[in-house]
Amino acid sequence: MTASSSFLIETHQCPVPGGAIYINALGRGPLVLVLGGISGDRQAITNAADGWWQGLAQAVDPNQFTVVTVDYAGGNGESEVAAVPQTIAEQASYISTALLELGWVDFHAVVGGSYGGLVALELAQDKQLNFDRVAVIGAAHRPTAQAVMLRALQREFVRLGDAAGQPERGTQLARALAMLSYRSAEGMDQYYPDPQDAVNYIESRGLRTVQRSLPRARQLFEVFGPALDSYRIEPYHIEQPTLLIGFDSDQLVPPSLLEIFHGQLPDGRGCHIFPSTYGHDGFIKNTADYAPVLKQFLESSWR
């Protein structure tokens, strides 16, 4: 997004069964749905250029596309529903219902990172909405055993915190472990020469999540985590041209899994693995590296 760009963000409160989903639209041009990670909200790309995934605007440029972002049902942000979605499919259903309420059916693309990558795959498979192409960053058709084990430990921290009468501390430790799993050993060693600084970092990130909203933070581990663990999709169900992006240091979604996924897609348009010292968080931190590939994919005119 260039310094001269100036688009008003349109915020929509869309009724869904038992509540409402909040959606932002920024820019002009064909619709591109952008879905962030498990703790992300709709402030991914902003007019003030301070979004938590702002680097993605190098590829999903509001001068070229209308960028559509969402507050997940049950996640951080303003969306409120009576029944928090227990599966990726239920999350995708809330989102498609909200977008259909706006009359937005035809999308140039859906771009999903991490948790959002799975939601993107589910939306592409469901076909209530039309996506010309799908880009998935740091997500695959199934979880790895290591990812499932790490999330199981996170939930156990939450339970132990409750048992000890310290729910805030239990959730803080769960988030700290999650942050550790998102990063690489090389990166943590590089950015924190004093290991205690690294400990302080993951503790602070856990505390920040709890302070934002303890109930919402708990749901990330008690509801969203199991949804990630149980998700499976048959690659042949994704019929759209699909781009995969991953990172060599990602311990949650390793390159080997992405390559298997790509090999089973009907219309895989590349599996690009980028070097990163940030591990899984490369989908946020390494946008400058993968943006050219994503931009080319979005601008391709095969359809």
Q: How far is CA 150 from CA 29, 145, 190, 229, 282, in A?
A: 41, 9, 23, 10, 19
pLDDT on residue 135: 98
Q: Say how many CA atoms lie within 13 Å of 121 toward its Cβ.
A: 28
pLDDT on residue 4: 41
Confidence (pTM)? 0.95
pLDDT on residue 1: 46
DSSP state of 223: I
Angle between helices 88-101 and 115-126 (to 10 degrees): 70
Condensed to tens digits (0 to 9), the pLDDT of residues 259-302 reads 999 999 999 999 999 999 999 999 999 999 999 999 999 998 75
Can you read off the two tokens belonging to residue 65? 């596309």
Greatest C-alpha distance within the chain:
58
pLDDT averaged per 10 residues in sequence order, the chain, 303 residues: 66 97 97 96 94 97 97 95 96 98 98 98 96 98 97 97 97 95 93 95 94 93 96 97 98 97 98 97 97 97 60
Condensed to tens digits (0 to 9), the pLDDT of residues 186-205 reads 999 999 999 999 999 999 99
Q: Which helix (H) or strand (E) holds 175?
A: helix 167-182
Tally: H helices and E strands in the chain: 11, 11
Architecture of domain 9-142+232-299: 3-Layer(aba) Sandwich (3.40)
pLDDT on residue 174: 96
pLDDT on residue 3: 38
Q: Mean pLDDT for the chain?
A: 95
Q: Where are the domains of the chain?
A: 9-142+232-299, 145-228
What is the separation, in whole angstroms, between the first and last Cα of the chain? 25
User: Contact 111/135 with Cβ under 8 angstroms?
Assistant: yes
pLDDT on residue 302: 55
Considering only the top CATH level, what class is 145-228?
A: mainly alpha
